[in-house]
Amino acid sequence: MLTRDEVFAVLQTVPDPEVPVISVVELGVVRDVDITPDGVTVTMTPTYSGCPAMREMEADVKAALLARGVRNVTVRMTLSPAWTTDWIGEEAREKLRRYGIAPPGRADQGGFVTLTRARPAVACPFCGSTDTVLQSEFGSTACKAIHSCRACGSPFDEFKAL
């Protein structure tokens, strides 16, 4: 049987299916691991309750652990506490930036995300300029918005803070 650290090391190799430059652990959706003689239970929190990538993440987590010899893998989903982009670590934020996605800012403490609130300028992941324009609150996935940079002319996604 794998140790807790070994299970987390395996899960670090499971990429987010929508943003494959970071793992499900780096994304912050893996909340806990419970190891018993019968197998491993991984507790995950979806980025939002309707996230279509969660089924893929669950299947990938199971496949990775089964490939490492774990006989029985259970993935348990929990909605509490609610996932927040604050669970994405600094190293993962830098990976997002290098990949061409503006990492999320800090989420509002105790507030609700709305589409009408004033938003701070988003730095371009390519040139670092904050002379950027929000093109659409809705990007390639629900967790991203589309921007463009006036300085270098590049379009880019922003991982929205939640």
pLDDT in tens, 57-111: 999 999 999 999 999 999 999 999 999 999 999 999 999 999 999 999 888 644 4
User: Which whole number is the average pLDDT over 28-43?
Assistant: 97
Q: How far apart are CA 26 and CA 11, in angstroms?
A: 9
Bigger pLDDT: 61 vs 139: 61
For residue 108, the model assigns a pLDDT of 61
Superfamily of domain 4-77: Fe-S cluster assembly (FSCA) (3.30.300.130)
Domain ranges of the chain: 4-77, 101-159
Q: How far apart are CA 74 and CA 44, in angstroms?
A: 11
Residue 93 is classified by DSSP as H
Checking if the pLDDT of 114 tops 70, the result is: no
Whole-model pTM: value is 0.86
- Average pLDDT of the chain to the nearest whole number: 92
Residue 59, amino acid: A
Q: How far apart are CA 148 and CA 132, in angstroms?
A: 6
For residue 118, the model assigns a pLDDT of 67
CA distances from 35 to 42, 111, 135 (A): 9, 35, 46
pLDDT in tens, 142-151: 889 999 999 9
